[in-house]
Amino acid sequence: MNHYIINFTAYTFAMIGFIAIAVFIYKKSIYTASNQGDKEYLKVENALRLSASKTIYVLKAGREKFLIAGDSANTTMLAKLYDEN
């Protein structure tokens, strides 16, 4: 009987260790994958809150910038912003 308890405990700790290592590797791979090519995705450069539900955003997509208005019901593109250079 004592032999079964020792085996059960050893296998339980082995499985907990295996699961912990798998979660660590998963989190590490998700973190590095989300940070690669960050320049290609949308980025909020600035936000101005007009009221409790209305906000104006300056979004950057690649090399382009857009002025976007958003509230609880919808999102509207107001303008494409151009550099003065």
| Cα 79 to Cα 75: distance, rounded to the nearest angstrom | 13
Which residue, chain included where needed, has tokens 């303008």? Answer: 79
Domain chopping of the chain, boundaries: 1-36, 39-81
Q: pLDDT tens digits for 9-55?
A: 999 999 999 999 999 988 888 766 555 555 557 888 999 999 988 99
pTM: 0.50
Which pair of tokens denotes residue 13?
A: 């700790």
